[in-house]
A and B are shown apart, each in its own frame.
Chain A
Amino acid sequence: MMKLKTGALVAGILLAALAGGNAAAEPTKPECLAGAKPGGGFDLTCRLAANSLLEAKLISKPMAVTYMEGGVGAVAYNHVIGKRGSDGNLITAASSGSALLIAQGKFGQYDETAVRWLGALGADYGVLVVAADSPIKTLGELVEAYKADPSSFAIAGGGAVGSQDWMKGAILAKAAGQDPKAMRYVALEGGGAVLTALEGGHVKVGAGDAAEMAKHHVAGKVRILAVMSKERLPGELAEVPTAKEQGIDIEWPVWRGYYVGKNVSDADYNWWVDTFKKLVETPEFKKERETRGLYEYTLIGKAFDDQVKTDVGRFKVLAKEAGM
């Protein structure tokens, strides 16, 4: 606590010194909190900001990445709200999955208004895949086949019931005019397990994310039937049609963004917003985003805050429809 106070003090002095100027102060101890173990999606989100901010020289000190696992980000969410609500040094990684969990009340007593949403710097997109030797070639065929015999279609995803992968399956069931509650959903641990289950013939359909499945698609292990993006994705998956093209109007961007505490000063919040806006224009950032397998998806400041709130509202409806 002492340290934080000193940090706030130093920040205060710096702010005072700059009071005549127009720019807010750079955080003295920039930190990104990842609400999971190292190596996961939150870690990737933090590293994207930490590496590119430093490389683009938008921060002078390296940004520390810290970890606090638990409840797919729930522990970190509660920690930020409860303990570091006014800490302008700290940004915390979030994703559309966080919004989905908030919509289902799984982040504890707090809702989406308990933090300030800062910005999203990239996105991945949902995909539906089948095994490479599957007779199903298009999303339309999949929907037809599912309609004909819903009980023979086990759908696997890399997350629990209520997670994003489950939601993608539920959307498929809905598109086929079936009850998502009756869906045979197999909750596996991560995309690797989904791949193994598909290859072993234990399930027929897998739900996942484009970046992870793309390499297996190229390697000929699975076939991506549809990407859940507005337009076709660039690069390796340019050949794969969107769900929309195939007549099913679903989009599932898995955005990766950040939030700060509710009581962070406007000066600090605006510093981050301005810095992010500068960051996304730099070649260093674009390169970093690409190496981390993310597609372009930029929403910063108020626009992002609005988007999260719309998302949570939309997810509440979806989750209810799907029987959560």
Chain B
Amino acid sequence: MNLEYLWGGFAVALTFQNLAIGFIGCFIGTMVGALPAIGPINGIALLLPIAYTMGLPPESTMILLASIYCGAEYGGRISSILLNVPGDAGAVMTALDGYPLARQGRAGEALMLSGIASFVGGMIGATGLALFAPLLASLATGFGPAEYFVLMVFAFATLGSMVGNQPVKTLIGCTLGLMLATVGLDATSGAYRFTFNEPELGDGIEFVVLVIGLFSISEALLILEHQASGLTVIRQLGRMFVRADDIRKSIGTTLRSSVIGFIVGVLPGTGASVSSAIAYTTAKRLSDTEGTFGKGDMRGLAAPEAANNATACGAFVPMLTLGVPGSGTTAVMLGALMLYNIQPGPMLLTERPEIVGGLVASLFIGNILLLILNLPLVNLFARVLTVPNWLLVPGILVLSIVGVYSTHASGFSVLLMLAIGMVGWLLRKLGFDMAPIILGFVLGHVMEINLRNALAISGGDVSILFQSKISLVLWVLAAGMAVLPLVLARRAKKRLKVAAPA
């Protein structure tokens, strides 16, 4: 296997500038993760325009965003343990055993053990990514417009398994995203669509405007709305050093959960919330012989933390090799690449090895930095939990507006972002998830262009979409992905029926 790209990547990631950027990203990421209200996607959305305006090269921006993403998976555990409120979606399971441990006065130990578990998960995930990425990318040759189109069909099919409990709302979100993607100059006919003679809409709705509006602005409004929470932070951390006995007990769980997390992460459409749940239930089934899970078992803490960090790394596999985002966060990162005029997809590793390599290498370095940051400085991050909302909300709003204005220097963009934020807030109140909208937007654009280019090549003959082997395999996979959740749901129902009379 050719790992040359990775060594080149280390050379990129170990430059002073990129190390400093990685460190800043890890720090911000941990903070963003620790804050219960804002998750990695908000952190990334807020910092992307700033990085872009500062003129950072694309690989540095990707390193920054990736370190925020990984940092947030570390940080999420802090509020789960101390506050019983998950800091982000991947840390929901962490609270199950983490909070009871904190109530027993073992918060310090819990934080350290979960930090180590996160580190192991992250390292195993990064190793998996480093080995996997070139393997998948070698299939990349032969992707033309037709193949790209089918790839996008496959990506949409995987969305069925995401946010599975509200399929209709997921579909509506996707459709909204697709519709928004049609605004602007249509390359195949040269016509302006839905621009209302507004030149600023000529290139379509800017990605940064959409992401910040949908995520940051609507989030700020939601926080304002749910002002009073009455939660108490546990301040007594107790003993700060983990017992050797607990580490020994958790090794097996941690390793197993890391592998589970990575595999779940590679599958597009499933994220850290799914993987940590699977890892936790698996650990419980295998190891909970004394009924201590849920009451403060270190293994119940290690399992989800190892898994969600491995998932974060695994999610980069489809993103970097196929250009298919597996989650909202990776969709934003893909959008970031497109901001730099870099077309993500199977050719990325061959054409821009410094970006892929730099990112993968920075994950290794980032995990080491995060371990260092998170063990001795955990006290500092715990303080973040006490940041009052009256400081947090204006902070988010200022960063959003400055970020959008700095990338485009246009008042129109700021107004559009605020309008999108209001709509996003309404949608979230109605129970919509924002991620499908972003996925629809990013994928829809690529999908439309490639479909129309494929048809331009064939002169309107649809059979071009079924000609190559790659297309056919992708069609079959897409069909499988679309049907799989239905089959699984039916099986689960059957099982319930069987179990009920017993």
Contacts from A to B (Cβ < 8 Å): 37-40, 66-72, 74-75, 77-78, 104, 106-108, 151, 154, 159-163, 166, 184-190, 192-193, 196-197, 200-203, 324
Contacts and interface: CB of A to CB of B under 8 A. Distances in A.
Given A160-B186, A161-B188, A197 B459 contact: no
A70 B203 contact: yes
B337 to A, nearest CB: 13
Interface of B: 55, 141-145, 185-190, 192, 197, 199-200, 202-203, 339, 341, 343, 347, 351, 408-410, 449, 452-453, 456-457, 459
Contact of B145 (A37, A69, A202): A202
B457 A203 contact: yes
B199 A160 contact: no
A162 B186 CA distance: 10
B408 A200 contact: no
Smallest CB-CB A-B distances: 5 pairs = A71-B202, A162-B190, A161-B190, A187-B187, A202-B144
Contact of A69 (B188, B203, B453): B203
A74 B456 contact: no
Contacts of B197: 108
Contact of B199 (A108, A166, A197, A324): A108
Contact of B341 (A39, A71, A184): A39
B457 A161 contact: no
A104 B187 CA distance: 15
Contacts of A75: 199-200, 202, 410
A161 B187 contact: yes
B456 A184 contact: yes
Nearest to A182: B459
A160 B190 contact: yes
B457 A154 contact: yes
B190 A186 contact: no
Contact of A193 (B199, B343, B459): B343
28 contacts: A37-B341, A38-B55, A67-B409, A68-B408, A69-B203, A70-B199, A70-B200, A71-B199, A71-B202, A72-B202, A74-B199, A74-B202, A75-B200, A78-B199, A107-B199, A154-B456, A154-B457, A159-B187, A160-B188, A160-B190, A166-B190, A184-B457, A185-B188, A187-B453, A187-B456, A193-B343, A200-B142, A202-B144
B199 A185 contact: no
A75 B203 CA distance: 10
* Majority-rule SS of B interface residues: loop
B459 A163 contact: no
A235 B409 CA distance: 40
Looking at A68, A71, A193, A197, the one whose CB has the most chain B CB atoms below 10 A away is A71
A151 B459 contact: yes
Contacts, number: 86
Nearest to A163: B190
Contacts of B187: 159-161, 187
Contacts of B409: 66-68
Given A108-B199, A202-B457, A196 B347 contact: yes
A187 B449 contact: yes
Contact of A106 (B142, B192, B459): B192
Contact of B143 (A69, A192, A200): A200
A248 B192 CA distance: 33
Contacts of B199: 70-71, 74-75, 77-78, 107-108
Contact of A70 (B141, B190, B202, B351): B202
A233 B142 CA distance: 34
Given A71-B199, A160-B185, A160-B188, A190 B341 contact: yes
**Max chain B CB contacts within 10 Å: which of A68, A185, A187?**
A187
Contacts of A324: 190
A271 B187 CA distance: 39
A40 B341 CA distance: 10
A214 to B, nearest CB: 19
A185 B185 contact: no
Contacts of A193: 343
Contacts of B141: 200
Contacts of A201: 144
B8 to A, nearest CB: 20
A166 B190 CA distance: 10
A104 B192 CA distance: 12
A69 B408 contact: yes
Q: Which of B192, B203, B339 has the most CB of A within 10 A?
A: B203
A302 to B, nearest CB: 29
A231 to B, nearest CB: 32
B170 to A, nearest CB: 29
Nearest to B345: A196
Contacts of B145: 186, 197, 202
Given A69-B408, A160-B188, A200-B142, 11 more contacts: A71-B202, A72-B202, A74-B202, A107-B199, A151-B459, A160-B186, A160-B190, A189-B343, A197-B145, A200-B141, A203-B457
